[in-house]
Amino acid sequence: MNLDRLKPRERRVVALGLLLALVLIVIFALLIPYVARYNHYLTAIDDQQFRLDRLHAAAAQLPELEAEIEALRAEALARGHLFEQGTPSLAAAQVQELIGRMVDTHGGEVRSMQVGRPLEEQGFTRVSVTVRMTATSEELADLLHGIETRRPLLFVDNLNVRLLRLRQRAGRRPAQETGEVEVDFDVQAYMREARP
């Protein structure tokens, strides 16, 4: 296209068209991405503000929840649910003594007891004792019932029961059942968190 052949008025129209095209290119190249990015940031700010408002609402409940937790701890202590020894080792020793007496009372035989590592759990200290024993199934049922219905509270976990069989030395007869079971289980108890 030769601009020399165009009339002055046509030249102005072409120049105006080119200027308009240049302005549109600048708008689409610079302004539209800026506006899109601006809208993205506004949406992100609104989202973060919503999260912040939710966190403020949750934080406002903290004193009330702490008071409720403390009331539940006091109630657990008042009802005798927790052991009141000063250290986890003393509490574990008392659990061992209790389990030993209960096994003797219900007719079983303790093979071994081991104290586990104490764990801190939300303001309480959990002590555990691993017990290995033998008993009849009836004696075991009575023992487990006695453990889980006493105070301070005791909890049985990781229960493993195996049937005991008599071993034959030189005979070819198969091993016979003794009517007893060998049992491994953990007994857990809670006390107030140990204070330094």
**Does the pLDDT value for residue 193 go beyond 90?**
no
**Does the pLDDT value for residue 27 go beyond 90?**
no
**Does the pLDDT value for residue 168 go beyond 60?**
no
Identify the band that residue 82 occupies on the pLDDT scale cut at 50, 70 and 90.
confident
Of 51, 141, 127, 139, the closest CA to residue 95 belongs to 127
At 167 the pLDDT is 55
**Does the pLDDT value for residue 30 go beyond 90?**
no
Q: What's the pTM?
A: 0.56
Please state the φ and ψ torsions of residue 93, each to the nearest 5 degrees.
Answer: -65, -40
**Does the pLDDT value for residue 139 go beyond 70?**
yes
What does each C-alpha distance from 144 to 14, 83, 135, 137, 149 come to in angstroms? 98, 19, 12, 10, 9
Question: What value does the mean pLDDT take over residues 110-116?
Answer: 93
Of 155, 161, 162, the closest CA to residue 124 belongs to 155
